A and B are shown apart, each in its own frame.
Chain A
Amino acid sequence: QTVVTQEPSFSVSPGGTVTLTCGLSSGSVSTYSYPSWYQQTPGQAPRTLIYNTKTRSSGVPDRFSGSILGNKAALTITGAQADDECDYYCVLYVGSGISVFGGGTKLTVL
């Protein structure tokens, strides 16, 4: 069974830069994993930030960017703001029609 790994938690200072990562329990993430990233505040539906590795969804500020770093997908947030404090999830396509969510990263801005 394929497991998608994310940091359980991360902290960033207001105005700072943070990079969250998304990996595979076995193997490397590539552009053919079509990584995507989602933001979720408690009690709300997810909001799409990035799809297909680095394409920003409509209305997403360019403070959010996606990339491949080494063998993982990465979401970089620059100029962190208080309302960036929430949960972040990645999704990877693992083949045979199947996509898998990571366990999520709880981001704290302090």
Chain B
Amino acid sequence: QVQLVESGGGVVQPGRSLRLSCAASGFTFRNFGMHWVRQAPGKGLEWVAIISYDGSNKYYADSGKGRFTISRDSSNNTLYLQMNSLGVEDTAVYYCARDAVTYLSHYGMDVWGQGTTVTVSS
């Protein structure tokens, strides 16, 4: 079945880096754009970044611009989020999600992972 599984979360000190992964299965990964979305404790959902189906376009929310890098490896069906210079405000559950429409982004997301927790604390 269609599945997304995030990993790589953990506890990290302020200023350090972390790389999240999202393993995709059950669908043709290279045909879909992919998103990262996060949710701070007790807060709402926040869109973080998107990468197009072929990796040629990447866009970021202001909160991560210049610090976060989204990438994908379609040979391994894996999405990544490299996060640098982490601050306490980056503490959240991070979800990966699939674009709802093949080859076209920004129409919404239709498949979600279960999330991985990132805690930034000294």
Q: Is the interface of A mostly helix, strand, loop or mixed?
A: strand
Q: Select the stretch in A13-21, A22-30, A38-46, A75-83 that faces chain B.
A: A38-46
**In the complex, what's the smallest C-beta–C-beta distance from A7 to chain B, in angstroms?**
13
Complex: how many Å from CA A89 to CA B47?
11
Chain A residues near B113: list those with CB within 8 A: 45
Bound together, the chains give a CA A45 to CA B114 distance in angstroms of 5
Please name all residues of chain A whose beta carbon is closer than 8 Å to the beta carbon of B108 when the two chains form the complex: 34-36, 48, 50-52, 91
Give the interface size class of chain A.
Answer: 20 to 34
Closest to A35 in B: B108
Q: With both chains docked as a complex, state the minimum distance between the C-beta of B98 and any C-beta of chain A, in angstroms.
A: 9
Residues of chain B within 8 A (CB-CB) of A35 are: 108
Q: Is the interface of B mostly helix, strand, loop or mixed?
A: strand
Taking the nearest CB of chain B, how far is it from the CB of A35, in angstroms? 8
With contact pairs A36-B100, A52-B101 given, residues A101 and B112 touching in the complex (Cβ less than 8 Å): no
Residues of B within 8 Å of A51, CB to CB, are 100-101, 107-110
**B100 x A45 contact (CB < 8 A):** no
| B61, B95, B97, B106, most chain A CB atoms within 10 A | B106
Is B114 a contact partner of A104 (Cβ separation < 8 A)?
A: no
